[in-house]
């Protein structure tokens, strides 16, 4: 769909604010992951402020879409997006990774009930999402039969799973991908953060993933590839995925790890470390300068 300049500006400013929150919370924590959260800020902004059917004031609303974060180590971007969307105070982001905090270093649903799942071990989230999508379809069929309606099931909610590209080294992902393709889960949409890095280096040096599109297609998935920093492409891809009823969809989002901070961008070394005080000050200054540029460009 086409977004007008005002809508794009609003999303860009929100993403910039989320990136600033990520830097601030990592600095306060003294540990955590930097590159992935910054790189995924635009996608999480699009999800929480345009795409998802959700209600921050009623987190357990039955008709909500479900968001399952599989690569849980990028949770700073999830927490920041949720806070800016109104699930909890933005000030609480400063408690990241602190003892007793609801914002654990990997998402823990018992601490923060607004989360759909807990995540930590890589490769588990897609299996969880597939199970949820199958269960939802079974429930919908049962409800229709109970009502005496034998027509095909209309999808009322979608299950969005967020995964990393390095995470696809985990074999159990491919079992889930195979099952989802077999079950033709049109209510399942997966984002792959194709940022080409993982903790040990560049993905194609560690364990090559390409041809990634062909692999997903071979398991009966509808595949889209986008610029993960272009809001129009992100939203249009989801719209197209929702229109595919007979198979699950995967959106391979090409992103820049560390996006928004030149010193961090494209460097795998920033996968799993936080900025120190000087690095955080540099990053925040760059992001605040970008914020002013966004505002002036759209005037």
Reported as a single tens digit per residue, the pLDDT across 29-77 is 999 999 999 999 999 999 999 999 999 999 999 999 999 999 999 999 9
62-99 burial, b at 16+ Cβ within 10 Å, e below that, comes to: eebbbbbbbbbbbbbbbbbbbbbbebbebebbbbbbee
- Please give the DSSP secondary-structure letter assigned to residue 31: -
The answer for 32, left when phi > 0, alpha when psi is -120 to 50, beta otherwise, is left
Supply the CATH number for residue 137's domain: 3.40.50.970
Give residue 73's pLDDT.
96
Tell me, yes or no, if the pTM score tops 0.85.
yes
- Beta-bridge partner residues of 164: 193
Reported as a single tens digit per residue, the pLDDT across 178-219 is 999 999 999 999 999 999 999 999 999 999 999 999 999 999
pLDDT bracket for residue 154 (50, 70, 90): low
Report the domain count for the chain. 1
Query: What does the pLDDT average to over 110-123?
Result: 92
Domain containing 289 equals: 5-297
Give residue 153's pLDDT.
57
Question: 251 in helix, strand or coil?
Answer: strand
């Amino acid at each position: 769909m086409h977004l007008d300049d005002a809508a794009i500006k609003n999303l860009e400013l929100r993403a910039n604010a989320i990136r600033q929150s990520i830097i601030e919370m990592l600095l306060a924590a003294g540990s955590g992951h930097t590159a992935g959260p910054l790189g995924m800020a635009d996608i999480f902004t699009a999800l929480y402020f345009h795409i998802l059917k959700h209600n921050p004031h009623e987190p357990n609303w039955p008709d909500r879409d479900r968001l399952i974060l599989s690569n849980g180590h990028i949770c700073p971007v999830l927490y920041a997006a949720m806070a800016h969307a109104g699930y909890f105070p933005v000030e609480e982001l400063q408690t990241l990774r602190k003892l007793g905090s609801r914002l654990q270093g990997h998402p823990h649903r018992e601490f923060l009930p607004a989360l759909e799942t807990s995540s930590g071990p890589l490769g588990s989230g897609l299996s969880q999402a597939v199970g949820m999508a199958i269960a939802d379809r079974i429930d919908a069929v049962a409800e229709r039969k109970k009502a005496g309606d034998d027509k095909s099931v209309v999808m009322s909610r979608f299950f969005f799973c967020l995964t990393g590209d390095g995470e696809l080294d985990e074999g159990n992902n491919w079992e889930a991908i195979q099952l989802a393709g077999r079950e033709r889960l049109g209510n399942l949409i997966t984002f792959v953060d194709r940022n080409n890095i993982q903790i040990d280096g560049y993905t194609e040096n560690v364990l090559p993933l390409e041809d990634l599109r062909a692999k997903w297609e071979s398991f009966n998935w509808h595949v889209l590839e986008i610029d993960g920093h272009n809001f129009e492409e992100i939203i249009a891809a989801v719209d197209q995925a929702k229109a595919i009823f007979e198979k699950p969809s995967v959106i391979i989002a090409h992103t820049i790890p560390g996006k928004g901070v030149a010193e961090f961008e494209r460097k795998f070394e920033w996968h799993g470390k936080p900025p120190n005080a000087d690095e955080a000050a540099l990053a925040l200054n760059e992001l605040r300068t970008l914020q002013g540029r966004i505002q002036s460009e759209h005037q």
